[in-house]
Amino acid sequence: MLRPHSNNFIYDETDFNTMKSTLIALDQCGADGFVFGGLNKTDSNDNSKPWIDIEKNTELVRLAGKKPCTFHRAFDCIPEEHWGTALTDIAKCGFASILTSGGPSGDTAVQCVDKLALLFEKLESVRSCLPEGIQTPEIIIGGGVRSSNIQLLAEIVSHAVVFHSSALTTDIETVDIDEVKRLKNHMAGQPL
Protein backbone atom coordinates (compact mmCIF):
# COMPACT_ATOMS: atom_id res chain seq x y z
CA MET A 1 0.00 0.00 0.00
CA LEU A 2 1.23 3.44 -0.91
CA ARG A 3 0.00 5.89 1.72
CA PRO A 4 2.50 8.48 2.93
CA HIS A 5 0.24 9.73 5.77
CA SER A 6 -3.12 8.97 7.36
CA ASN A 7 -4.44 12.55 7.59
CA ASN A 8 -6.56 12.25 4.45
CA PHE A 9 -6.13 11.13 0.84
CA ILE A 10 -4.87 14.41 -0.58
CA TYR A 11 -1.18 14.28 -1.40
CA ASP A 12 1.14 17.19 -2.11
CA GLU A 13 4.25 16.89 -4.29
CA THR A 14 6.43 15.66 -1.40
CA ASP A 15 3.86 12.95 -0.58
CA PHE A 16 3.55 12.06 -4.25
CA ASN A 17 7.32 11.71 -4.67
CA THR A 18 7.36 9.44 -1.61
CA MET A 19 4.62 7.32 -3.19
CA LYS A 20 6.56 7.05 -6.46
CA SER A 21 9.82 6.04 -4.76
CA THR A 22 7.96 3.54 -2.55
CA LEU A 23 6.27 1.99 -5.60
CA ILE A 24 9.63 1.64 -7.36
CA ALA A 25 11.22 0.08 -4.26
CA LEU A 26 8.33 -2.37 -3.78
CA ASP A 27 8.41 -3.23 -7.47
CA GLN A 28 12.12 -4.02 -7.26
CA CYS A 29 11.40 -6.27 -4.26
CA GLY A 30 8.92 -8.29 -6.33
CA ALA A 31 5.53 -6.80 -5.40
CA ASP A 32 2.68 -8.37 -7.39
CA GLY A 33 0.55 -5.21 -7.39
CA PHE A 34 -0.12 -1.94 -5.63
CA VAL A 35 -2.87 -0.34 -3.56
CA PHE A 36 -3.26 3.45 -3.41
CA GLY A 37 -5.60 6.28 -4.24
CA GLY A 38 -5.41 10.03 -4.20
CA LEU A 39 -8.21 12.55 -4.01
CA ASN A 40 -8.41 16.25 -4.86
CA LYS A 41 -10.80 17.25 -2.10
CA THR A 42 -12.32 16.08 1.15
CA ASP A 43 -15.89 17.37 0.85
CA SER A 44 -18.57 17.80 -1.79
CA ASN A 45 -18.77 21.59 -1.40
CA ASP A 46 -15.81 22.12 -3.73
CA ASN A 47 -17.22 21.52 -7.21
CA SER A 48 -14.28 23.13 -9.00
CA LYS A 49 -12.35 19.88 -9.43
CA PRO A 50 -13.09 16.16 -9.64
CA TRP A 51 -12.84 13.94 -6.59
CA ILE A 52 -10.21 11.65 -8.11
CA ASP A 53 -6.71 13.08 -8.58
CA ILE A 54 -6.54 11.80 -12.15
CA GLU A 55 -3.05 13.11 -12.91
CA LYS A 56 -1.24 11.60 -9.91
CA ASN A 57 -3.16 8.32 -9.92
CA THR A 58 -2.58 7.84 -13.65
CA GLU A 59 1.15 8.46 -13.24
CA LEU A 60 1.38 5.88 -10.44
CA VAL A 61 -0.58 3.30 -12.46
CA ARG A 62 1.77 3.85 -15.41
CA LEU A 63 4.78 3.55 -13.12
CA ALA A 64 3.42 0.18 -11.94
CA GLY A 65 3.71 -1.13 -15.51
CA LYS A 66 1.58 -4.20 -16.06
CA LYS A 67 1.14 -4.91 -12.35
CA PRO A 68 -2.45 -4.40 -11.18
CA CYS A 69 -3.35 -1.39 -9.09
CA THR A 70 -6.25 -1.13 -6.65
CA PHE A 71 -7.86 2.17 -5.72
CA HIS A 72 -8.20 1.79 -1.96
CA ARG A 73 -10.80 2.93 0.51
CA ALA A 74 -10.25 6.58 -0.35
CA PHE A 75 -13.30 5.77 -2.48
CA ASP A 76 -15.32 5.62 0.74
CA CYS A 77 -14.85 9.40 1.15
CA ILE A 78 -16.75 10.08 -2.08
CA PRO A 79 -20.47 10.80 -1.66
CA GLU A 80 -22.85 8.50 -3.50
CA GLU A 81 -24.03 11.26 -5.86
CA HIS A 82 -20.47 11.45 -7.26
CA TRP A 83 -19.90 7.70 -7.70
CA GLY A 84 -20.57 7.66 -11.44
CA THR A 85 -17.95 10.29 -12.22
CA ALA A 86 -15.50 8.80 -9.72
CA LEU A 87 -15.88 5.29 -11.17
CA THR A 88 -15.29 6.65 -14.67
CA ASP A 89 -12.22 8.60 -13.55
CA ILE A 90 -10.78 5.58 -11.70
CA ALA A 91 -11.27 3.44 -14.82
CA LYS A 92 -9.58 6.06 -17.00
CA CYS A 93 -6.60 6.12 -14.60
CA GLY A 94 -6.14 2.40 -15.34
CA PHE A 95 -6.99 0.84 -11.98
CA ALA A 96 -7.83 -2.87 -12.06
CA SER A 97 -9.98 -2.74 -8.93
CA ILE A 98 -11.51 -0.63 -6.16
CA LEU A 99 -11.49 -1.61 -2.47
CA THR A 100 -14.55 -0.22 -0.67
CA SER A 101 -16.99 -0.83 2.15
CA GLY A 102 -19.59 1.12 0.17
CA GLY A 103 -19.95 3.84 2.77
CA PRO A 104 -18.15 6.39 4.87
CA SER A 105 -14.72 5.49 6.14
CA GLY A 106 -15.10 3.52 9.36
CA ASP A 107 -18.34 1.83 8.34
CA THR A 108 -18.28 -1.89 7.67
CA ALA A 109 -19.44 -3.56 4.49
CA VAL A 110 -22.38 -5.11 6.36
CA GLN A 111 -23.51 -1.64 7.48
CA CYS A 112 -23.36 -0.52 3.84
CA VAL A 113 -24.64 -3.64 2.10
CA ASP A 114 -27.51 -1.83 0.35
CA LYS A 115 -25.14 0.87 -0.90
CA LEU A 116 -22.75 -1.82 -2.16
CA ALA A 117 -25.59 -3.32 -4.20
CA LEU A 118 -26.25 0.16 -5.67
CA LEU A 119 -22.53 0.60 -6.38
CA PHE A 120 -22.50 -2.55 -8.50
CA GLU A 121 -25.51 -1.21 -10.43
CA LYS A 122 -23.73 2.11 -10.94
CA LEU A 123 -20.63 0.27 -12.15
CA GLU A 124 -22.71 -1.50 -14.80
CA SER A 125 -24.04 1.81 -16.11
CA VAL A 126 -20.50 3.26 -16.17
CA ARG A 127 -19.23 0.19 -18.05
CA SER A 128 -21.45 0.97 -21.04
CA CYS A 129 -20.20 4.57 -21.24
CA LEU A 130 -16.45 3.98 -21.07
CA PRO A 131 -14.38 4.57 -24.19
CA GLU A 132 -13.22 1.47 -26.04
CA GLY A 133 -10.11 -0.10 -24.54
CA ILE A 134 -10.73 1.13 -20.99
CA GLN A 135 -11.38 -1.67 -18.52
CA THR A 136 -14.03 -1.42 -15.82
CA PRO A 137 -12.42 -1.88 -12.40
CA GLU A 138 -13.54 -4.80 -10.28
CA ILE A 139 -15.13 -4.00 -6.91
CA ILE A 140 -13.45 -5.62 -3.90
CA ILE A 141 -15.69 -5.56 -0.83
CA GLY A 142 -13.75 -4.84 2.35
CA GLY A 143 -14.33 -3.43 5.80
CA GLY A 144 -15.23 -5.89 8.52
CA VAL A 145 -15.61 -8.87 6.19
CA ARG A 146 -15.56 -12.05 8.28
CA SER A 147 -16.70 -15.65 7.93
CA SER A 148 -19.75 -14.73 10.04
CA ASN A 149 -21.02 -12.22 7.46
CA ILE A 150 -19.49 -13.09 4.10
CA GLN A 151 -22.48 -15.27 3.13
CA LEU A 152 -24.87 -12.36 3.76
CA LEU A 153 -22.67 -10.00 1.75
CA ALA A 154 -22.45 -12.48 -1.13
CA GLU A 155 -26.22 -13.02 -1.16
CA ILE A 156 -27.27 -9.35 -1.03
CA VAL A 157 -24.50 -8.06 -3.29
CA SER A 158 -24.99 -10.81 -5.83
CA HIS A 159 -22.37 -9.52 -8.29
CA ALA A 160 -19.63 -9.53 -5.65
CA VAL A 161 -16.98 -12.18 -6.14
CA VAL A 162 -13.93 -10.58 -4.51
CA PHE A 163 -13.67 -9.81 -0.81
CA HIS A 164 -10.93 -8.42 1.43
CA SER A 165 -10.59 -9.38 5.08
CA SER A 166 -7.96 -8.78 7.73
CA ALA A 167 -9.21 -12.02 9.36
CA LEU A 168 -8.99 -10.47 12.83
CA THR A 169 -11.35 -12.02 15.36
CA THR A 170 -10.08 -10.47 18.59
CA ASP A 171 -8.88 -7.06 19.71
CA ILE A 172 -5.33 -8.27 19.18
CA GLU A 173 -4.02 -7.27 15.74
CA THR A 174 -3.06 -10.82 14.80
CA VAL A 175 -4.49 -12.72 11.85
CA ASP A 176 -6.65 -15.65 12.96
CA ILE A 177 -5.53 -18.64 10.85
CA ASP A 178 -8.80 -20.50 11.48
CA GLU A 179 -10.73 -17.45 10.26
CA VAL A 180 -8.64 -17.43 7.08
CA LYS A 181 -9.52 -21.10 6.54
CA ARG A 182 -13.24 -20.42 7.11
CA LEU A 183 -13.17 -17.51 4.64
CA LYS A 184 -11.27 -19.60 2.11
CA ASN A 185 -13.75 -22.47 2.47
CA HIS A 186 -16.63 -20.09 1.86
CA MET A 187 -15.02 -18.73 -1.29
CA ALA A 188 -14.45 -22.28 -2.49
CA GLY A 189 -18.14 -23.07 -1.90
CA GLN A 190 -17.49 -25.37 1.01
CA PRO A 191 -19.48 -25.21 4.25
CA LEU A 192 -18.21 -22.84 6.90
| Buried-state track 45-82, b at ≥16 Cβ within 10 A, e below 16 | eeeeebbbbbebbbbbbeebeeebbbbbbbbbbbeeeb
Share the mean pLDDT of the chain.
92
Query: If we measure between CA atoms, which residue out of 40, 38, 33, 46 comes closest to residue 19?
Result: 38
pTM recorded for the entire structure: 0.92
Q: What is the pLDDT of residue 47?
A: 75
Taking residues 138-148, report their average pLDDT: 95
What's the mean pLDDT in 6-23?
Answer: 96
Edge-to-edge strand list for the sheet holding 69-71 = 34-36, 69-71, 97-100, 138-141
- Per-residue model confidence (pLDDT) at position 192: 55
Angle at 133 between CA 132 and CA 139, to 5 degrees: 105
User: Has domain 13-187 been given CATH number 3.30.420.40?
Assistant: no
Q: Give tens-digit pLDDT for 22-46.
A: 999 999 999 999 999 999 987 777 7
| pLDDT digits 0-9 by tens, 74-118 | 999 999 999 999 999 999 999 999 999 998 877 899 999 999 999
Assess whether pLDDT exceeds 70 at residue 191. Answer: no
**Strand 97-100, strand 69-71: pairing:** parallel
Domain ranges of the chain: 13-187
Closest-CA residue to 31 (of 57, 58, 56, 60): 60
pLDDT at 158: 83
159 vs 20: CA distance, rounded Å: 33
In this prediction, residue 190 carries a pLDDT of: 65
Q: Please give the pLDDT value at position 21.
A: 98
* Total H helices, total E strands in the chain: 6, 4
